[in-house]
Amino acid sequence: MSQLGAFGAITSVRLATESGYRVTYVTCDFASAVIDAKVVFDAEGRVTGLWFGLPQPKTGEYKEPPYSVAGSFTEVSSEIGKEPWVLPGTLTIPAGEGPFPAVVLVHGSGPNDRDESIGPNKPFRDLAHGLASKGIAVLRYEKRTKQYAGVLPGEMDTFTLKEEVVDDAVEAVAYLRQVEKVDPDRVFVLGHSLGASSAPRIAETALQATGEYPAGLIMMAPNARPVTDLILKQYRYLAELDGQVSEEEAAQLDEVGESVSKIREGSIGPGEMVLGAGKAYWDDLLAYDPVAVAKNLSLPMLILQGERDYQVTMEDFALWQAELGGMANVAFKSLPGLNHLFMFGEGKSSPEEYGVPGNIHETVIAAITEWVKAK
């Protein structure tokens, strides 16, 4: 490990069940590379294996996007939520007196930090600085599964999308409405990936909790198909990316297929983890239809989709359009050349792109700004 340089931080933790064993994947950030440690536990919680993946060299550092205008905003620390799940965050406020429209940023799947960091990229920081430069306040915060990674495994038998995403987003909306320079009637929810598909549920929950909907929803790459369908398609896409499927990849596809079947059948046992989550989580997620919930909402919605996204694809975008396309309160925009992080590229999208420094494309900032300021 000495050749990797100084240890920086654990950037993510992922849980799984493989061949009856509980497995924890820990992504570790070193000075010159990122490496995954795989820790295997038996039924009694004893460590039975420890492996390290191949180091992934860092290809560069994060750079502030060109649309971030120095001096046009300030940032202050904030806290949202209630004990025992208080979450630290950052509030980005435009310069001037206000009151300003504002957005809450809601993360995709996984234990994300407030910047939704992946490799050298920080899409939520891009959004915060880009939108604040245009006069829109932004609140971003550490995801519960990031901030309380050491505590949540004990909650997995009852842990659902509500605890992972929805409750904290509702708290964030309520928090923003109390900020002095924010217009309380113009607080929007901006979700990415899982956060995007959760947005209709966040709106419904906010109404139940506070008596008010958010001012509107901005959904960046929301899935319309069940997440189990997406998982299978993603694994197959990656296996076939080089034009051939190896024996190892075929075996992995079979294993993922078995896990997905278990999720669909609802046959996950007590305490068992499948694809990183327990029975309560998967049952809840499969019972939630974001398109159906959104169809019953009258608040403004903007749906954005990168045309090179292999995780949530144009197939999902077409399904959203088919169901909501006739609604006057819903706007759609697909963006050529953009991947799941809404960063530009060419050719087939791949996970390796996420390790190359970049920024959310300026067309995304422009589309969101224009839409929010028209409301």
Three-state DSSP at 50 gives: strand
For the question of residue 309 being annotated catalytic, the response is yes
Q: Which of 115, 126, 309, 316 is catalytic?
A: 309
For the question of residue 107 being annotated catalytic, the response is no
Which tokens sit at 295?
């169809």
- Write the DSSP symbol of residue 355: G
Residue 287 CA to residue 219 CA, distance in Å, equals: 20
User: What is the signed CA dihedral for 306, 309, 314, 317, rounded to 10 degrees?
Assistant: -60
Inter-axis angle of helices 227-239 and 279-287, nearest 10: 100
Which tokens sit at 354?
């996420």
Helix, strand, coil percentages in the chain from 3-state DSSP, rounded to 5:
35, 25, 40
Inter-axis angle of helices 194-210 and 167-177, nearest 10: 60
Q: Which of 107, 129, 340, 361 is catalytic?
A: 340
Q: Which helix (H) or strand (E) holds 131?
A: helix 123-133
Q: Are strands 182-192 and 33-41 parallel, antiparallel or unpaired?
A: unpaired
Three-state DSSP at 287 gives: helix
For the question of residue 193 being annotated catalytic, the response is yes
Residue 319 CA to residue 292 CA, distance in Å, equals: 11
Which tokens sit at 293?
């919930």
Which tokens sit at 227?
């997440």
Which tokens sit at 8?
């920086």
Q: Which of 193, 197, 259, 349 is catalytic?
A: 193
Show which residues are catalytic.
193, 309, 340
